Structure 1
Amino acid sequence: MAKLAFLGLGVMGYPMAGHLAKAGHEVTVYNRSGAKADKWVSEFGGKAAPTPREAASGAEFVMACVGNDDDLRSVCTGDDGAFAGMEKGAVFVDHTTVSARVTRELAEAAAAGGIGYVDAPISGGQAGAENGQLSVMCGGDQADFDRAAPVIDAYAKICRLMGPVGAGQTTKMCNQIAIAGLVQGLSESLRFAEASGLKIEDVVEVISQGAAGSWQMENRHKTMAAGEFDHGFAVDWMRKDLGICLATADDIGVSLPVTALVDQFYKEVQGMGGNRWDTSSLIARLRR
C-alpha cells in the first residue's frame, strides 16, 4: 500500500480517489472547494490538505484530475504546487485531458526535480469512475508506468502504456474523435426512427445486435429518447477536448472534417443552454 495524494474531486476524481482509499492506500486529497474535500474525508477517511503542495508532501504518487491546461499548471507549479512538495523519486500521474504540449512542459519541470511523470487520461465517464472500470491510456517512461500501474488498477478496466510522455493524451484525442462522430450518427439514427413513427426501443433492440451496435447505443438510447441529458460527460468539456483535437490536427497536418462539424453542433447545443448536458444531447438540436 502506498502514500498517495489526489488533486481534484470532480465527478471523476471523487470516486477515483475513493477507490484508492478502499484499496487500502493512505490518501490525502486536495480540492479547490475545501467543503468537497471535507465531504470526501467524511465518506472515505484519509486527510484533506489546503494546498496541492501540502497534499503532495511525502507522497509516493500524486494523482490529478482537474479541468484544463491552466488548472493543471496551477496545481503542479508555483510555491503551493504539487511539484514543490514532492520528493525525488515520486511519480506524478495526470488523469486530466489536456494538450500534449502542456503535458510535455510539465513533464520537463517534473524531471528537473527528479519527479517521474505519467500522463494518463481516462475514458469511461462518470459511471466508469464510480464502478472502477475506466480505460486509462498512458504516456511516460516504462519504469514510472510500471510503478504507477498497480495503483491505477484500483479504478481501471484497462491501463496501457502507449508511448513516451504525451502519448496518453494523443490516444485520448483518438478516443474523443471516435466518440464525436459516433454520437452524432446515433443521434441522427434515433431521430430518424422517431420521426418515421418507429419505436426507438424496438429499433435499437434489432440494430444493436448487428454492426450498428455500440456502447453509446446500449447505454444512452433510452435517455436520449426521453430527452434526459444528465448522465455523464458535459458538453463544455467535450468542446474543450475537441478543441485540443482540432488544434493538434492542424499542427500535424491531419484533416478532421467530421470532428470539426460535430464540434459546431455541440456549440449549437451550448447555445440552447446545454453546457452541462451530457454529450448524448446532440439529439436535442435535431428536435428543434
Structure 2
Amino acid sequence: MGVYAYRGCDNLIEAISPRLEEAGWHREGEPELADMVITYFPTMNDLEDLCFGDNGLMQVMKPGSMIVDLSSVTPNFAREMNAIATLSDLKFVEAPLVVKDMTLADAFARDNIFCFASGEDGCVVEAKDLLDAIFCEVKIVGGGGAAQLMRAANTLQTVAGVISAIEAHALFMASKRSISSIEMGEIQIEFSDFGAQAIIQAIRDERFDSSFTCEMLMGELSAAIMAADDYELIMPQAESAMHLLELLAVIGGADKAPVALALVYGEEAACAANGLDWSRAETLYAQEDGIYSEDDYDDAFDDYDDSDDSGSIGFGYSVN
C-alpha cells in the first residue's frame, strides 16, 4: 500500500501497527521517508510542538506527503493545520478517533474504534485505505474542521454518560452502607443504555486499566471545551467533568481507564489497592473550614506530576 511513519502515544501504535502491516503498509522510523505520517497525541500542545517546533514535522516531511492526524483538537486548530500543510506542499487529513467502549483493556481494537474524517481535494479518499486498516468505520464529514466538530459533540455526550453511570453506581453503593437499605430490600441499578451497562459492569469487575486512559479522555474533553470557547459558548457540565477527571489524574490515575473515576467515590482501601494517593490532593481543598478553593485547585493541578507511584492512601473524598 505504502510507507508510513508514526508520532504519538505508544498505546495506539502498539495496537494498530499489526493491522497496518497486514494491510500492506510498511513502517519507517523517520517522517521524511514516509508517504503518510500518522499522529495521535492526548493534547493539542503536544501536536503543536511536534509540527511547529524546531525541525518540526512539517519542515522535514517530503513534498506531497500527508499528515493523518487522529488526535482530538479544536476545529479551528485543524483548519490552521490544514492551511499550513498546504503552504508547505503537504496534505492533511483530520481523522479524530472515537473509542466505542472505553472499559475494554484493548480499547484500540479495530472493532472498538471508528473515526470522523475530513480534508480537502480528495485527501480523505487518498487516505481511505490506511484509515480502513485502522478503524472499523470511517465517517467522512465535510471540509476542514468538520471531523473535529463531530468528535467534540460525541465527546460531550460520552463524558456525560460515563460520569452519570459512575455516580448512579456510587449512589447505590452508598445506600447499601446505610441502615435504611434494610427497609428498601434488595434492588439493582437499571441501565439507561449499553454504555452505562458496560461502565457499571467494569466497576463491579474492578477493571480499572485500559489502553485508553484518563489522560486521553481529558485531552478529548479539553478540546471540546476549547472548541466551545472559540464559539463563545460556556459548557458547565463539561467543565465539571473535567475537574473530576483532573482530580483522578492528580491522585495518580492519569494512566488508569476513565472508569477508575469510580474509585474517587469509593472506599479508602479500594483507592489504595489501585495505587491512588489522596495526599497528592491536599492542596485541592482549602484547609480553613473545609471550603473548596478554585485557586488551590488550579495550583495543585499545575504542580501535578504523575511520575511517582509510591504512595497510596485513597478514599472517596467529600467536600463540606
Shorter-chain TM-score range: 0.7 to 0.9
Offset of residue 187 of structure 1? 0.8
Q: What is the alpha-carbon distance in structure 2 between the residues aligned to residue 18 and residue 80 of structure 1?
A: 29
| 1:273 is aligned to 2:252 | yes
Q: What is the alpha-carbon distance in structure 2 between the residues aligned to residue 72 and residue 21 of structure 1?
A: 25
| 8 Å contact kept, 1:190–1:225 | no
Corresponding residue number in structure 2 for 1:214: 194
| 1:119 is aligned to 2:94 | yes
TM superposition outliers: structure 1 runs of 4+ over 4 Å = none
Corresponding residue number in structure 2 for 1:27: 27
CA pair 254-285 structure 1, distance change in 2 beyond 3 A: same
Q: What is the alpha-carbon distance in structure 1 between the residues aligned to residue 130 and residue 122 of structure 2?
A: 14
CA pair 262-77 structure 1, distance change in 2 beyond 3 A: closer
Give the secondary-structure state (helix, strand or coil) at the position aligned to 1:88: coil
Q: What is the alpha-carbon distance in structure 2 between the residues aligned to residue 173 and residue 132 of structure 1?
A: 21
| 8 Å contact kept, 2:63–2:88 | yes
Offset of residue 102 of structure 1? 3.0
1:30-49 residue CA offsets vs partner (Å, 9 max, x unmatched): xxxxxxxxxxxxxxxxxxx3
| 1:176 is aligned to 2:152 | no
| 8 Å contact kept, 2:74–2:226 | no
Q: What is the alpha-carbon distance in structure 1 between the residues aligned to residue 229 and residue 162 of structure 2?
A: 23
| 1:64 is aligned to 2:44 | no
Corresponding residue number in structure 2 for 1:15: 15
Offset of residue 134 of structure 1? 1.5
Q: What is the alpha-carbon distance in structure 2 between the residues aligned to residue 272 and residue 71 of structure 1?
A: 23
Q: What is the alpha-carbon distance in structure 2 between the residues aligned to residue 237 and residue 129 of structure 1?
A: 12
Unaligned stretches of 5+ in structure 1?
29-48, 50-54
Q: What is the alpha-carbon distance in structure 1 between the residues aligned to residue 246 and residue 39 of structure 2?
A: 28
Offset of residue 78 of structure 1? 5.1
Q: Look at both structures and tell me which one has the larger radius of gyration over its CA atoms.
A: 2
| 8 Å contact kept, 1:135–1:159 | yes
The range that moved more, 226-235 or 87-96, is: 226-235
Offset of residue 194 of structure 1? 2.9
Unaligned stretches of 5+ in structure 2?
182-186, 267-315
Q: What is the alpha-carbon distance in structure 2 between the residues aligned to residue 232 and residue 278 of structure 1?
A: 7
Give the structure-2-normalised TM-score: 0.71
| 8 Å contact kept, 1:120–1:136 | yes
Q: What is the alpha-carbon distance in structure 1 between the residues aligned to residue 82 and residue 42 of structure 2?
A: 18
Offset of residue 226 of structure 1? 4.3
Query: What pairs up with 1:203-282 in 2 under 5 angstroms?
Result: 203=188, 207-208=190-191, 212-218=192-198, 220-282=199-261
Residues matched between the structures, number: 254
Offset of residue 122 of structure 1? 0.3
Give the secondary-structure state (helix, strand or coil) at the position aligned to 1:129: coil
Corresponding residue number in structure 1 for 2:290: none
| 1:189 is aligned to 2:164 | no
1:135 to 87, 110, 114: 114
Offset of residue 183 of structure 1? 0.8
